Chain A
Amino acid sequence: MMGKGNILLNFIKENIALHEIDEKFTLDTELFNSGIVDSFGLLEILMFIEEEFSVKIESYQVVENDSNTIKKIIDLVELYK
């Protein structure tokens, strides 16, 4: 079964990424400063998380916790579960 991180990774790859992402795109890739995800994308990620994992996270919680990678976002998901 696919872990939460990989589910989110696939969602970002297929729906959010602002530009082509290469094979190096992993759970540890910087999402925001790298230009892969903008504020619109962040909102979509959070809506996906709410729907998929039934966890509500606000965008400022991602920003203020410096959750700038998929791995760190999943840590937040676990924290607020």
Chain B
Amino acid sequence: MKNLDEKELIKRKQELEELLISFKQKIKILIENGDIENAEKLLEKYVDIGKKDSDIYNMQGIISIFKRDYNEAEKLLKKSLSEDYSNMDTYFNLGFLYEILKKVNESELAYFLAKIYEKQENRLNQNNVKEWKVVLLGENTSDLDFYNKFRNDINILGILKLDENNNLDKNFSFFKIKDLKLLNYDYIILTDMELEDYKIKLKKLVDFGIEENKIFMAKNLEIEFEIEGFNYRISEFIQKNKIEGIITGLSYAEVGINTNFFNGEFINFALSSQDLYYDYKLLEYFLKIEKVKNNIKYVILNLAYYSFDFDLSRTLERNRVHRYYPIIKDTHNYKDEFRIKLLNKMYNLRWTNEDYAEINNLKKNIVMRNDKETIQKGKKCAIYHSKMKSEEIKKENLEIFETILKLLKQNNISPLILICPVSKYYYEHYDKKRIKEFYCNIDFYIQRDNIKIVDFFDSELFDNSDFWDDSHLNSKGAIKLTKLIEKEL
């Protein structure tokens, strides 16, 4: 008897779920047809029987847009994102709302996230700027695979065929090598993944007189991507109503500050391997946005002692500037914009915000092991960072730092400079001369602009249980550090 009841209950639950889905579909159709009055009536009925979820808040948001109640629309769309921050439709509608409100940057951010979460629909594609005109060349299906991945991001003129007897698919434009002389293109992309295949093709093209810098290897896109937090932070930013504080800097602050423990509304834009240039670019971008401009009180600049000698775009990790590209549209000293754009697309196909959240949570909950491996890694990293030294990079970074201070002054902000704590396995091996040099570089600005600096580098307030690795705080350490910073603000 009990089993029968359970079966009946499951059946009824399923029926109700199906009913709610069909309700949602009907509301969507009514909205799409502009029948707002009936959509609203049906929505009211839905709320009587079903739970309000991200889709429902989104639809209520659209109705408010139609009614020109933009404040309510923004509230509802943000509520939708708080239920499901990967709701592509909501980001799209938020982008549209900000467009109406002439909030250009916020609209751009919302559309950017909509594009990331875009699944089957291609409605944003018509807005894509296709700056580069390319021709593909590859064996088997590698050219078509590339076409399918990137057709919305670059202007693919057609496919080059070196073998004239090939059976050609009529859906594509095909070119022969001699057509290249008359064709207006930016790049030829070799799509073969086999080294030998593309070496042969490269030689043929070069022999034909094509410059090597016009040839791009798709193989260059096959790299191991680090999981980046940039998109995730943009998503957090979109959901906030006002921003009173921004944090920039490196991974130390990315994991070392928990903004929930500040009294005001903060956004943490400190990211792994972020240099001063992108600190500046992000501040410049976000300080233009109304909800920041009108509320900002604090900027926390997380620096490391090697910050003035570090330029991400000139390191082996320079591919990572791709994370900023859709918003900042600047690759700093890595001048291969074409590659960066494609890398960003590849990244977004492979990793999601959920992956970032998952890996971050994992780190937060780890307590550093006191084993040989950790001790050695701490020593290795400290020695490596101590040895990062370049007069050329330092010169540019000091200029950037000055520009950051100027920008903040224009916004009536005096920044707090933060050096995050590291474990003893790291700080014991850091070259003390380099720490002195850092202070020599920064003292002038501190004195001139009366800037506050808090240095927890080897602070006794932190012990091994506060870290997840040799130089990064875990959840416990992050709460401790955030509370200490709060006192300094």
Query: In residues 361-387 of chain B, which contact A (Cβ within 8 Å)?
Result: 380-381, 384, 387
Contacts of A32 in B (CB 8 A): 316
A74 to B387, CA, bound (A): 22
Q: Is the CB of B390 within 8 A of A60?
A: yes
A58 to B311 Cα, complex, angstroms: 12
**B317 within 8 A of partner (CB):** yes
Task: Decide yes or no whether B28 CB sits under 8 A from chain A.
Answer: no
Is the Cβ of B318 less than 8 Å from the Cβ of A63? yes
Give the nearest-CB partner of B317 in chain A. A39
- Structural contact, A60 and B387, CB atoms closer than 8 A: no
A33 contacts which chain B residues (CB < 8 A)? Answer: 223
For residue A57, give the distance in angstroms from its CB to the closest CB of chain B.
11
Q: Mark B309-346, 1 if CB is under 8 A from A, else 0.
A: 00100111110000000000000010000000000000
Judge if B435 is at the interface, Cβ distance under 8 Å: no
A58 to B384, CA, bound (A): 14
Is B392 among interface residues, defined by CB-CB distance under 8 A? yes
**Min CB distance, A43 to chain B, in Å?**
6
Contact residues of A: prevailing secondary structure: helix
Scoring B316, B317, B333, B381 by chain A CB atoms within 10 A of each residue's CB, the highest score goes to B316
Measured CB to CB, the closest approach of chain A to B200, in angstroms, equals 17
Q: How far in angstroms is the closest Cβ of chain A from B454?
A: 29
Asked if B316 and A58 sit within 8 Å, CB to CB, the answer is no
Q: Are B315 and A58 in contact (CB under 8 A)?
A: no
> Cα distance A47–B317 when bound, in Å?
19
A18 to B333, CA, bound (A): 28
Cβ contacts under 8 Å, A63 to chain B: 314-316, 318
Confirm or deny: B180 has a beta carbon within 8 angstroms of a beta carbon on chain A: no
A80 within 8 A of B: no
CB pair B315 A60 closer than 8 Å:
yes
Contact of A43 among B223, B314, B333, B387 (CB under 8 A): B387
**Contact assessment for B390 and A58 in the assembled complex, using a CB-CB cutoff below 8 Å:** yes
Cβ B387 vs Cβ A64 within 8 A: no
User: Quick one: CB contact mask for A31-72 with B, threshold 8 Å, 1 for yes?
Assistant: 011000011101100010000000000111001100000000
Give every chain A residue within 8 A of B387 (Cβ-Cβ). 43, 47
Q: List B residues 224-242 near A (Cβ within 8 Å).
A: none
Q: Which residues of B contact A43 (CB under 8 A)?
A: 384, 387-388
Chain B residues near A47 (CB-CB < 8 A): 387
With A33-B223, A47-B387, A60-B311 as known contacts, state yes or no: A39 contacts B316, CB within 8 Å: yes
Contact with A along B462-479 (1 / 0, CB 8 A): 000000000000000000
* Complex Cα gap A43–B309 (Å): 14
CA–CA, A32 and B317, complex, Å: 10
Q: Is B484 an interface residue (CB 8 A)?
A: no
A59 to B, closest residue via Cβ: B315
- In the complex formed, the residue of B with least CB distance to A35 is B224
Q: Which residues of chain B (262-317) have a CB below 8 Å from chain A?
A: 311, 314-317
**Could you say which residues of chain A place their CB within 8 Å of the CB of B333?**
60, 64
| Residues of A contacting B317 in the complex (Cβ-Cβ under 8 angstroms) | 39
Rounded to whole angstroms, the CA-CA distance of A28 and B318 in the bound complex is 22
- Is B100 located at the chain interface by the 8 A CB criterion? no
Task: Report how far A41 CA is from B450 CA in the complex, Å.
Answer: 40
B446 interface residue (CB < 8 Å to A) = no
B393 on the interface (CB 8 Å rule)?
Answer: yes
The docked-state distance in angstroms from the alpha carbon of A47 to that of B388 is: 11
Q: Bound state CA distance, A13 and B314, in angstroms?
A: 25
Which residues of chain B have C-beta atoms less than 8 A from A60's C-beta? 311, 314-315, 333, 390, 392-393
CA distance A14 to B206 in the complex (A): 38
Question: Measured between alpha carbons, how far is A39 from B381 in the docked complex, in Å?
Answer: 10
Q: Smallest CB–CB gap between A37 and chain B, Å? A: 9
Residue of B nearest to A38 (CB): B316
CA distance in complex: A47, B386 (Å): 13
- B195's closest neighbor in chain A, by CB? A30
Determine the distance from Cα of A60 to Cα of B380 in the docked complex, in whole angstroms: 20
Q: How far is the CB of A18 from chain B (nearest CB, A)?
A: 12
Nearest-CB residue, chain B, relative to A68: B316
Judging by beta carbons under 8 Å apart, are B316 and A42 in contact? yes
Is the beta-carbon distance between A58 and B318 smaller than 8 angstroms? no
**Residues of B contacting A38 with CB < 8 Å?**
316
Residues of B within 8 A of A58 (CB): 390, 392
A32 to B318, CA, bound (A): 12
Q: Binary interface profile of B, 384-405, with partner A (CB < 8 Å = 1, else 0)? A: 1001101011000000000000
Residues of chain B within 8 A of A64, CB atoms compared:
314, 333
Q: Which of A32, A42, A43, A47 has the most CB atoms of chain B within a 10 A radius of its CB? A: A43
**Chain A positions near chain B (C-beta within 8 angstroms):** 32-33, 38-40, 42-43, 47, 58-60, 63-64
Of the A-B pairs whose beta carbons lie under 8 Å apart in the complex, a sample of 13, sorted by A's number, is: A32-B316, A33-B223, A38-B316, A39-B316, A40-B384, A42-B316, A43-B384, A58-B390, A58-B392, A60-B390, A60-B392, A63-B318, A64-B314
User: What are the nearest 5 A-B pairs in CB distance?
Assistant: A60-B314, A39-B316, A40-B384, A58-B390, A32-B316
Known: A58-B392, A59-B315, A63-B315. 12 other contacts (CB 8 A): A39-B315, A39-B384, A40-B380, A43-B384, A43-B388, A59-B314, A60-B315, A60-B333, A60-B390, A60-B392, A60-B393, A64-B314
